[in-house]
Amino acid sequence: MKQGLGITPVIGIAGWKNSGKTTLVAGLISEFSARGLKVATVKHAHHNFQIDDAETDSARHRRSGAGEVAIVSRNRWAIVRELKGAPEPDLAEVISWLDPCDLVIVEGYKRAPIPKIEVRRDMSASQEKLADKDPTVIAIAADHSAEGRGIPVFALDDVAGIADFIAAKLGVAAVRTAAGAASS
């Protein structure tokens, strides 16, 4: 096991469909990377997915029955594992497969017992507020006026401010704040 919950700081970004989760995650990855941190992400998909085209050799390997297929090039690699009826791995297990990093950002996994930021947008598929029922929600990022049981609320586009909050809350070491000053 390389790492897992409790070893590497983990922050979840959760919200309903079309709430802006992916946009915020991408912004946070860029922000933390610019601050010199190595970031890994885990994205939960509620639907089936394929990372290669249906006509590639690797897709043919899977369709032919391979339980795992490694796809390797000079620029990246991936392993696709077919579950074949086995349960979906839990978040801690998935995180343990990642290489060591400074921060893991998790998109989705609304019910995972990790600190998370709830993303709200007026155009979301649901207006149900996660923070009202989930004590692991530590802040809200919204594109409109919002409040949530005494926790901080950020503008959805305040990526630097949200990154500063995450760094302070999770104790991410040696992070340069948006103002440029080093903190530890």
- Provide the CATH number for the domain around residue 19: 3.40.50.300
Pick from 142, 85, 132: which is nearest to 110 by CA?
A: 132
Task: Work out how many domains the chain is built from and give that number.
Answer: 1
- Strand partners for 160: none
For residue 63, being part of any structural domain is answered with no
For residue 55, being part of any structural domain is answered with no
Pick from 35, 2, 41: which is nearest to 184 by CA?
A: 35
Q: Hey, which of 8-12, 16-20, 82-86, 129-133 has the most confident mean pLDDT?
A: 8-12
Reported confidence tier of residue 27, pLDDT bands at 50, 70, 90: very high
Q: What is the pLDDT of residues 31-45, one digit of tens each?
A: 999 999 999 999 998
For residue 57, being part of any structural domain is answered with no
- Cα–Cα distance, 58 to 81 (Å, whole number): 12
Residue 3: per-residue pLDDT: 52
- Strand partners for 137: 116
For residue 76, being part of any structural domain is answered with no
For residue 80, being part of any structural domain is answered with no
Residue 178: per-residue pLDDT: 53
**Whether pLDDT at 4 is above 70:** no
SS (H, E, C) the chain: CCCCECCECEEEEEECCCCCHHHHHHHHHHHHHHCCCCEEEEECCCCCCCCCCCCCHHHHHHHCCCCEEEEECCCCEEEEECCCCCCCCCHHHHHHCCCCCCEEEEECCCCCCCCEEEEECCCCCCCCCHHHCCCCEEEEEECCCCCCCCCCEEECCCHHHHHHHHHHHHCCCCEECCCCCEEC
Q: Give the structural domain span for 127.
A: 10-49+88-183
For residue 14, being part of any structural domain is answered with yes
Q: What six digits make up the tokens of 55?
A: 């006509």
Mean pLDDT of the chain: 87
- The proportion of the chain whose per-residue pLDDT surpasses 70, expressed as a percent, equals 90
